[in-house]
């Protein structure tokens, strides 16, 4: 995704909330100065917003660690909470009358799991998933679907699945299970080293994705396809369907997957993305991007 003028302000908010949550406002002015220098150098019409986030993360690391008791406590509590919801989620999917409806229900739950705010969680509390709970109870609206997600998935063979946060990766596990039942080869991608609230190998294992998916690979910070020569980069280029969860992955991959079918599952959390996808801010969406 190419940057909007608001992307710089959003990046500052993302940096501020992650830093302030851990260090009590110590050294924030120097950090802001570093981020502003980054934006003045790199914010251009041709920039990749995901790559900018990765550069900003390197600056945050000078002030606060990407792995800490603060984040691990949130992730642990959220994982435990989601694990209790998954039997209900599995029943919701099973009640789909056709393979198409089952797949769409799994996509819906995965998208509705994308609740992490752009800023850090307030007061270090675990994430809640009210929209997922509502749809499983038959009360809430499903995400906006743009494009034929089922047909695209059904025709694919090799799926490259980019996860986002801990907790919500449990809902991703339900979708990966559907993909496996459809006969797909699935590569699940998580973070290593830790990256704030994002899912890691430990979180994937917590939801048994190491047994469900064909393989789990790791990336350092947000995955940016351009010139990526890592093992995950090779798996990306060998895939024919990319499933991308969350805002950061959307910003890194939108417009950066030429020749591949790409499915974005996310909450539309900001004005630039709302404008980009033509969906109201605050809605959840499953978007097929050719």
Q: Output the pLDDT for position 117.
A: 81
Q: Is the pLDDT of residue 257 over 80?
A: yes
Q: How high does pLDDT run on average in the chain?
A: 91
Q: Output the pLDDT for position 242.
A: 98
Q: Output the pLDDT for position 62.
A: 82
Q: Output the pLDDT for position 269.
A: 92
**Residue finishing a domain among 22, 38, 60:** 60
My answer on whether 76 and 164 are in the same domain is yes
My answer on whether 234 and 120 are in the same domain is yes
Q: Which of 145, 180, 143 is nearest to 159 (CA)?
A: 180
pTM of the model: 0.94
How far apart are alpha carbons 252 and 42 in whole angstroms? 15
Residue 275, domain CATH? 3.40.50.10880
Q: Is the pLDDT of residue 20 over 90?
A: no
Kindly state the average pLDDT of the residues 38-57.
87
My answer on whether 85 and 45 are in the same domain is no
Q: Is the pLDDT of residue 78 over 70?
A: yes
My answer on whether 124 and 265 are in the same domain is yes
My answer on whether 189 and 110 are in the same domain is yes
Enumerate residues 6+ apart whose C-beta is below 8 A from 89: 109, 132, 136, 171, 174
Q: Is the pLDDT of residue 5 over 80?
A: no
My answer on whether 25 and 106 are in the same domain is no
- Tokens at 158, concatenated: 């090799």
Q: Please report, rounded to a whole number, the percentage of residues in the chain having pLDDT higher than 70.
A: 96
Q: Which of 92, 110, 151, 50 is nearest to 264 (CA)?
A: 110
My answer on whether 283 and 169 are in the same domain is yes
Number of domains in the chain: 2
Q: Is the pLDDT of residue 259 over 70?
A: yes
Separation of CA 117 from chain center: 12
Which range of residues forms the domain containing residue 235? Answer: 69-289
Q: Output the pLDDT for position 122.
A: 62
My answer on whether 100 and 20 are in the same domain is no
- Tokens at 69, concatenated: 């008791």
pLDDT digits (tens, 9 = 90+) for 202-255: 999 999 999 999 999 999 999 999 878 899 999 999 999 999 999 999 999 999
How far apart are alpha carbons 19 and 227 in whole angstroms? 30
My answer on whether 111 and 136 are in the same domain is yes
Q: Is the pLDDT of residue 21 over 80?
A: no
My answer on whether 30 and 133 are in the same domain is no
Q: Output the pLDDT for position 191.
A: 97
pLDDT digits (tens, 9 = 90+) for 82-141: 999 999 999 999 999 999 999 999 999 999 999 988 777 766 678 899 999 999 999 989
Q: Output the pLDDT for position 15.
A: 80
Q: Which of 2, 290, 246 is nearest to 146 (CA)?
A: 290
My answer on whether 79 and 45 are in the same domain is no
Greatest Cα pair distance, the chain, in angstroms, is 57
My answer on whether 105 and 192 are in the same domain is yes
Q: Output the pLDDT for position 25.
A: 59
């Amino acid at each position: 995704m190419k940057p909007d003028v608001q992307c710089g302000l959003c990046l500052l908010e993302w940096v501020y909330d992650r830093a302030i949550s851990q260090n009590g406002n110590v050294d924030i002015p120097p950090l802001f100065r570093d981020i502003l220098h980054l934006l003045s150098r790199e914010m251009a019409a041709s920039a990749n917003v995901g790559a900018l986030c990765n550069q900003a993360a390197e600056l945050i690391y000078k002030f606060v660690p990407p792995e800490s008791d603060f984040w691990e406590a949130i992730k642990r509590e959220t994982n435990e909470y989601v694990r209790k919801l998954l039997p209900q989620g599995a029943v919701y999917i099973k009640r789909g009358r056709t393979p198409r409806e089952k797949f769409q229900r799994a996509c819906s739950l995965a998208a509705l799991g994308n609740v992490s705010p752009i800023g850090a969680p307030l007061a270090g509390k675990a994430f809640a998933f009210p929209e997922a709970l509502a749809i499983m109870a038959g009360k809430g609206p499903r995400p906006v679907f743009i494009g034929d997600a089922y047909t695209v998935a059904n025709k694919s063979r090799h799926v490259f699945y980019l996860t986002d946060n801990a907790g919500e990766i449990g809902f991703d596990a339900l979708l990966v299970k559907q993909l496996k039942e459809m006969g797909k080869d699935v590569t699940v991608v998580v973070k290593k080293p830790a990256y704030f609230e994002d899912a890691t190998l430990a979180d994937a294992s917590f939801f048994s994705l190491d047994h469900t998916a064909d393989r789990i690979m790791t990336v350092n910070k947000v995955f940016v396809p351009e010139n990526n020569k890592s093992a995950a980069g090779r798996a990306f280029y060998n895939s024919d369907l990319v499933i991308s969860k969350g805002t950061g992955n959307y910003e890194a991959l939108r417009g950066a997957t030429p020749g591949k079918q790409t499915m974005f599952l996310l909450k539309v959390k900001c004005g630039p993305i709302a404008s980009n996808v033509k969906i109201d801010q605050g809605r959840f969406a499953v978007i097929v991007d050719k």
